[in-house]
Structure 1
Amino acid sequence: MSDVLPVVTVTYSPGPHLERFLASLSLATERPVSVLLADNGSTDGAPQAALERYPNVRLFSTGANLGYGTAVNRAVARLAEEGVADEWFIVANPDVQWGPGSIDALLGAAARWPRAATLGPLIREPDGSVYPSARHVPSLIRGGMHAVIGPVWRNNPWSTSYRQQHLEPSERPVGWLSGSCLLVRRTAFEQVGGFDERYFMYFEDVDLGDRLHKAGWLNVYVPSAEVLHHQAHSTGRDPIGHLAAHHKSTYIFLADRHSGWWRAPLRWAMRAGLATRARLLARRARRAEGRH
């Protein structure tokens, strides 16, 4: 295993978040790290400024806004082309702020879980609350009820169960982990073909976790590792566009897992229900924008 740990992050005009990401990274691990910025077309100059400030940072232009999972795949392929052969790499959003020792805690857990393919930390939101980043894979009933009822009854029993909010934080295997911050085993990632590139954003992490589990690997939640995620950075610029992308990705995921001609009526119903939900939430978002 190389001493230098590869870190991949996808940038798309990340602003000051990238500086916070890189400045806190040195606190997260005692290992030296090499950061590859997979840039999806930033126009704010932040990735270029990072190159000047941090000698362990490299910039890789994807050529267009390819979405999160596709950009990660391209970056991991670039690492392989360069001969970077470490068994583990980090994938994280540029609006993550690393907690002290967080990466070392993930690496320590990896030694305890030899079948772990991904390991994810406890994620805090800017107000200090814990984001439910370790969840069940959404079943038709639990996921469907969460999608339909969640916007109007946040703490309904289906959403609470799906998010595993009733469980105290503990190190354990889960259905999937938030792709905003992951330690990833390269051999497992390559075995399942990386992220599914049909997902522009959202659900690529759900899909990856599910496929890894089906391939015999584990997704392990490690709350002894802790990061802060300023996630409003990405959604705040285009909330309606993000809503549309979320619902499109939800349909791709559910349709894949309920395939076959005999399930066509179910897929039609899911598509219609998600389209209706997307319109209602977009209307609510427009009203909120109007008030501001």
Structure 2
Amino acid sequence: MTASFAVVTVTYSSGDYLHNFLRTLTAASSQTAQVIIADNGSTDGAPEQAEAAYDNVTLVRTGGNIGYGGAVNRGVAEVDDDVEFIVVANPDVEWSAGAIDELLDAARRWPRAASLGPLITEPDGSVYPSARRVPDLVSGTGHAVLGAVWKSNPWTAAYRDDDADLTERPVGWLSGSCLLLRRAAFDNIGGFDSRYFMFMEDVDLGDRLGKSGWLNVFVPTSSVMHAKSHSVSKHPEKMIPAHHASAYRFNADRHPGPLRAPLRLALRAGLAVRSKIAVAAALREQRRESGQA
């Protein structure tokens, strides 16, 4: 019998992260699911090793580094048509026992839920704010400008939904690092927007699902651990500008037309300045840590 879900992950020289992902996945559900690895050009041999080691793993080469959302879409296209749910997760996720089964149970409780996300913890055990409100220009700008220097500012708190309890509930959007997606809803809105190379594709997905009448549901009885953006810490000069470009695209798409052109111009200029400052700070921190080592 075909499992009710399939798993799609995107790799880019993910190394041991992918090994731990697949090792812990076996305990995440009582079902053995089809696993699609959409590879964006790895050079470490990890995807090939995974396909050889697991009978249920299929490696799909995307043809280059086409970004996260585009690669997920490519992976989903390989999933059998009769599979009802797609689990999309980063390869640096480690699964808790029963994590996927908990999400599947919640999906049956919430028939209008298009995406369901677990509680996500950091390697140190702290809870990552993975269930958030969709940002507007005010809260998004306040978070972008003050989030790094004044972590308790009201705009960051509102965006991260910091005051909310860890209860099962609908939210604005869920972290794309681990999602259970209802295939019909995902296909209905055209999947991830592949114009987002990295970052904000999950915010955009959650927002479009919500505007289409679906729900995004946070399910804290399911949990995973996320090593969190190892590529970002290694390559801030590439990842930070990509993040800011995605932030511009998200807001520009929601403020179209000639009358809002000055707003988009100001937004582009402000994000460009912030990106340069953030890259410089990250590279200084890298040099400092390297000197201490």
Shift of 1:240: 1.8
What is the root-mean-square deviation of aligned Cα atoms in Å? Answer: 1.1
- Give, in whole Å, the separation in 1 of the partners of 2:229 and 2:86: 25
Query: Post-superposition shift, 1:4?
Result: 5.3
Query: What is the distance in 1 between the residues matched to 2:284 and 2:233?
Result: 15
Which amino acid is the alignment partner of residue 28 of structure 1?
A
Q: Give 1:52 shift.
A: 2.0
Instruction: Give the CA deviation at 1:78.
Output: 2.1
Aligned residues: 289
Aligned to 1:174: 171
Q: Is the 8 A contact 1:4 1:34 kept in 2?
A: no
| Contact 2:29-2:99 within 8 A present in 1 as well | yes
State the partner residue of 2:19.
Answer: 19
Task: Give the structure 2 partner of residue 50 of structure 1.
Answer: 50
Q: Deviations over 1:112-165 (max 9, x none)?
A: 101000000000001100000000000111111001111211121110111011
Q: Does 1:28 align with 2:28?
A: yes
Q: Which residue of 1 aligns with 2:182?
A: 185
Determine the C-alpha separation between the residues in 1 that align with 2:82 and 2:213: 22
Taking the aligned partners of 1:4 and 1:53, their CA distance within structure 2 comes to 23
Partner of 1:144: 141
Aligned pairs for 1:1-292 (under 5 A) are 2-3=2-3, 5-79=5-79, 83-291=80-288, 292=290
Q: Which runs of 5+ in 2 are unaligned?
A: none
CA contact (8 A) 1:4 1:32 kept: no
**How far apart are the structure 1 equivalents of 2:195 and 2:113?**
25
The alignment partner of 1:23 has SS state of: helix
Identity of aligned residues (%): 58
Deviating above 3 A after TM superposition, structure 1's stretches of 4 or more consecutive aligned residues are none
Counterpart AA for 1:75: G
Aligned to 2:248, the other structure's residue is in SS state helix
Distance in 1 between residues matched to 2:231 and 2:168, nearest whole Å: 29
For 1:271, give the aligned amino acid.
R
Aligned pair in 2 of structure 1 residues 163, 191: CA closer, same or farther (>3 Å)? same
Measured in 2, the distance between the counterparts of 1:86 and 1:33 equals 10
Amino acid at match of 1:46: A
Residues 193-233 of structure 1, C-alpha deviation per residue, up to 9 Å, x if partnerless? 10001100000000000000000000000000000001142
Q: Residue 184 of structure 1: CA displacement?
A: 0.4
Amino acid at match of 1:212: L
Structure 1: give runs of 5+ residues left out of the alignment.
none
The offset of 1:25, in angstroms, is 0.5
C-alpha distance in 2 between matches for 1:132 and 1:122: 8
Asked if 1 retains the 8 angstrom alpha-carbon contact of 2:248 and 2:271, the reply is yes
**What TM-score, normalized by structure 2, do the two folds share?**
0.96
Tell whether the 8 Å contact from 1:5 to 1:32 is kept in structure 2 after alignment. Answer: no
Letter aligned with residue 51 of structure 1: E
In the alignment, the residues of structure 2 paired with residue 55 and residue 284 of structure 1 have an alpha-carbon distance, to the nearest angstrom, of 45
Secondary structure at the aligned position of 2:102 is classed as: helix
Contact residue 124 and residue 226 of structure 1 kept, 8 A: yes
Separation in structure 2 between the aligned mates of residue 52 and residue 253 of structure 1, nearest angstrom: 39
Secondary structure of the residue aligned to 1:228 is strand
The answer as to whether partners of 1:69 and 1:201 remain within 8 angstroms in 2 is yes
User: CA offsets, 1:213-257, max 9 Å, x none?
Assistant: 000000000000000001142212211210000000000000011
Contact 2:131/2:173 (8 A) holds in 1: yes
User: Distance between the aligned counterparts of 1:276 and 1:75, measured in 2?
Assistant: 35
